Amino acid sequence: MTKKINQYFTFDDSKKEFSLPTVSKNTKYTYNSLKDFTLYASGSPSDTIEIKERLKSKKNYLNYLSFLSLWIEINFEEDKSQKIVFYNTPYTASEKERKNFVELAIDIIDKLNEIKSNSN
Protein backbone atom coordinates (compact mmCIF):
# COMPACT_ATOMS: atom_id res chain seq x y z
CA MET A 1 0.00 0.00 0.00
CA THR A 2 1.26 3.45 -0.85
CA LYS A 3 0.67 6.18 1.68
CA LYS A 4 1.05 9.65 0.26
CA ILE A 5 1.25 12.06 3.17
CA ASN A 6 1.39 15.00 0.80
CA GLN A 7 2.91 15.71 -2.60
CA TYR A 8 6.44 15.37 -1.15
CA PHE A 9 6.30 12.49 1.33
CA THR A 10 5.37 9.05 0.01
CA PHE A 11 5.69 5.67 1.73
CA ASP A 12 5.30 2.57 -0.46
CA ASP A 13 4.84 -0.54 1.70
CA SER A 14 4.79 -2.90 -1.29
CA LYS A 15 8.21 -1.73 -2.50
CA LYS A 16 9.39 -1.01 1.05
CA GLU A 17 10.69 2.42 0.12
CA PHE A 18 9.85 6.01 0.88
CA SER A 19 10.62 9.28 -0.79
CA LEU A 20 11.56 12.50 0.90
CA PRO A 21 12.10 15.91 -0.60
CA THR A 22 15.61 17.19 -1.18
CA VAL A 23 16.68 20.52 -2.60
CA SER A 24 16.30 19.50 -6.24
CA LYS A 25 14.05 16.42 -6.25
CA ASN A 26 12.46 13.68 -4.21
CA THR A 27 14.97 11.07 -3.06
CA LYS A 28 13.96 7.45 -2.46
CA TYR A 29 15.19 5.36 0.46
CA THR A 30 14.49 1.73 1.35
CA TYR A 31 12.85 0.85 4.63
CA ASN A 32 15.91 -1.27 5.52
CA SER A 33 18.21 1.74 5.22
CA LEU A 34 16.41 3.58 8.03
CA LYS A 35 18.58 3.66 11.15
CA ASP A 36 16.93 6.19 13.46
CA PHE A 37 15.19 9.54 13.49
CA THR A 38 14.46 12.39 15.88
CA LEU A 39 11.77 15.04 15.92
CA TYR A 40 12.94 18.46 17.11
CA ALA A 41 10.64 21.22 18.33
CA SER A 42 12.28 24.52 19.29
CA GLY A 43 15.67 22.85 18.92
CA SER A 44 15.03 20.11 21.49
CA PRO A 45 14.33 16.43 20.83
CA SER A 46 10.60 15.82 21.24
CA ASP A 47 8.20 12.94 20.92
CA THR A 48 4.85 12.85 19.20
CA ILE A 49 2.96 12.22 22.46
CA GLU A 50 4.17 15.54 23.86
CA ILE A 51 3.45 17.36 20.62
CA LYS A 52 -0.03 15.83 20.25
CA GLU A 53 -0.80 17.06 23.78
CA ARG A 54 0.36 20.54 22.82
CA LEU A 55 -1.91 20.47 19.76
CA LYS A 56 -4.92 19.66 21.95
CA SER A 57 -4.19 22.41 24.45
CA LYS A 58 -5.56 25.68 23.09
CA LYS A 59 -5.28 27.38 26.50
CA ASN A 60 -1.70 26.32 27.22
CA TYR A 61 0.94 29.03 26.76
CA LEU A 62 3.39 26.41 25.50
CA ASN A 63 1.19 25.14 22.68
CA TYR A 64 2.42 24.47 19.15
CA LEU A 65 2.45 28.19 18.28
CA SER A 66 5.38 28.65 20.65
CA PHE A 67 7.61 26.26 18.68
CA LEU A 68 10.49 28.35 17.37
CA SER A 69 11.47 25.63 14.93
CA LEU A 70 10.31 22.22 13.80
CA TRP A 71 12.34 19.59 11.98
CA ILE A 72 12.97 15.85 11.66
CA GLU A 73 16.47 14.43 11.41
CA ILE A 74 16.62 10.99 9.76
CA ASN A 75 19.74 8.82 9.88
CA PHE A 76 20.41 5.97 7.48
CA GLU A 77 22.62 2.88 7.69
CA GLU A 78 24.98 4.26 5.02
CA ASP A 79 26.07 7.05 7.41
CA LYS A 80 23.85 9.47 5.55
CA SER A 81 21.34 11.73 7.16
CA GLN A 82 18.61 14.02 6.01
CA LYS A 83 17.10 16.92 7.85
CA ILE A 84 13.53 17.85 6.98
CA VAL A 85 12.98 21.42 8.12
CA PHE A 86 9.39 22.58 8.39
CA TYR A 87 10.23 26.02 9.72
CA ASN A 88 12.83 28.01 11.65
CA THR A 89 12.63 31.41 13.27
CA PRO A 90 12.28 34.08 12.21
CA TYR A 91 9.18 32.67 10.61
CA THR A 92 5.78 34.22 10.48
CA ALA A 93 2.95 31.86 9.78
CA SER A 94 -0.70 31.69 10.52
CA GLU A 95 -1.98 29.42 13.26
CA LYS A 96 -3.39 27.13 10.56
CA GLU A 97 -0.01 26.88 8.75
CA ARG A 98 1.89 26.00 11.91
CA LYS A 99 -0.76 23.47 12.91
CA ASN A 100 -0.51 21.88 9.44
CA PHE A 101 3.30 21.64 9.74
CA VAL A 102 3.03 20.03 13.18
CA GLU A 103 0.41 17.53 11.97
CA LEU A 104 2.56 16.67 8.93
CA ALA A 105 5.59 16.07 11.17
CA ILE A 106 3.50 13.81 13.42
CA ASP A 107 2.25 11.80 10.41
CA ILE A 108 5.81 11.30 9.17
CA ILE A 109 7.14 10.27 12.60
CA ASP A 110 4.21 7.87 13.10
CA LYS A 111 4.97 6.20 9.76
CA LEU A 112 8.71 6.04 10.49
CA ASN A 113 7.91 4.45 13.88
CA GLU A 114 5.74 1.87 12.11
CA ILE A 115 8.57 1.07 9.68
CA LYS A 116 11.09 0.67 12.53
CA SER A 117 8.79 -1.53 14.60
CA ASN A 118 8.11 -3.80 11.61
CA SER A 119 11.81 -4.18 10.86
CA ASN A 120 12.64 -5.57 14.32
Domain-wise residue ranges, the chain: 2-112
pLDDT of residue 85: 81
pLDDT in tens, the chain (120 residues): 555 555 568 888 999 998 887 655 678 889 999 999 999 988 889 888 888 877 776 655 456 666 778 889 999 988 788 888 877 765 666 777 777 888 888 998 999 999 999 876
The rounded distance, in Å, linking the Cα atoms of 1 and 29 is 16
The rounded distance, in Å, linking the Cα atoms of 23 and 42 is 23
pLDDT of residue 35: 93
The rounded distance, in Å, linking the Cα atoms of 76 and 109 is 15
Please enumerate in sequence order all residues whose Cβ is within 8 A of that of 105, keeping only pairs 6 or more positions apart, or say none: 39, 51, 70, 72, 86
